[in-house]
Amino acid sequence: MIRSALALLTLLAPLAAQPVLAAPVDARVSYVVTVGGINVALVDIDFDDDGRRYGFELSARVTGLGNVVASGTAKANVDGSSSGSVLQSERFQLETRANGELFNVDVGFVGRNVGSFQVNPPVLDSYDRVPLERTHLTGVGDFLSSFMLKGRALDRSLCQQDFKIFTGVERFNIRMGFLDNDEATSPRTGYQGPLVACSVKYQPVSGHFDSSEMTQYLADTSRIILWYAPLGASGYFVPYRVIIGTSMGDLSMVLTSARAD
């Protein structure tokens, strides 16, 4: 279903990390998501940062893929403080629509701690759902604010990060590591130039179901790779490409256009 596709998108980037003084930014990036070479979603993200406050608006159109991913739409909004060395979200909202069903998440942050969260309809607990504990909700960020990195240069330091993410439903850790320097050459993508490739390791913490094959697969796989590209001269870096190996072929998200003012 659409929530499964969005859960995969939460792996696409870690929290902003390196301190940098950046000019105001007004940007839009777009992606195509494929599974085994078949297009399953289009994603647009608008981002603005005036040097003190930032905001994200995400819209996704999921075309579906049999019983794997249901067709539908998704919208997400985030706002928070950008005056420090990292993006610090204060509110994260997500709405998905699929098969006539509406799903909403609303998370409030106080600093890097979860102050409140609501999920509607609620995710029902069962014997195999790992319970969320209060200690799991400290020092965390939302996944959309994890989409852009602040940095001084396109180098291996962008990959040397560990992050704690709370989606409103699940808490997990992301550990990244440097793989290689690379180059984007395809004219069909939204960027041509140098890249940094990072390995990504997913570690579920709580809120997930032990019986979930997808969660177990993501935790066990060693083939999640993320390439970063500069967003013009803004001082931000965005994912250029993400690959997650699956039994149905690679799940891939590729940058198709990028604009930064």
Q: What is the 3-state secondary structure (H, E, C) of 29-94?
A: EEEEEEECCEEEEEEEEEEEECCCEEEEEEEEEECCECCCECCEEEEEEEEEECCCCCCEEEEEEE
Give Cα 61 distance to the centre of its chain. Answer: 16
pTM, to two decimals: 0.86
Which residues, other chains included, contact 135 with Cβ-Cβ below 8 Å and sequence gap of 6+?
none
Separation between Cα atoms, residue 141 and residue 164, nearest integer Å: 7
Separation between Cα atoms, residue 185 and residue 10, nearest integer Å: 26
134 burial (CB, 10 Å; 0-12 / 13-18 / 19+) is: exposed
Q: Would you list the domain boundaries of the chain?
A: 2-260
Can you give the pLDDT of all 261 residues of the chain as single tens digits?
444 444 454 444 333 333 344 468 999 999 999 988 888 899 999 999 998 999 999 999 988 665 556 688 999 999 999 887 778 899 999 999 988 899 999 999 998 999 999 999 998 888 899 999 999 999 999 988 877 888 888 999 999 888 899 999 999 999 999 999 999 999 999 999 999 999 999 999 999 999 988 888 889 887 899 999 999 888 899 999 999 987 778 889 999 999 988
Tokens matching residue 164: 């704690």
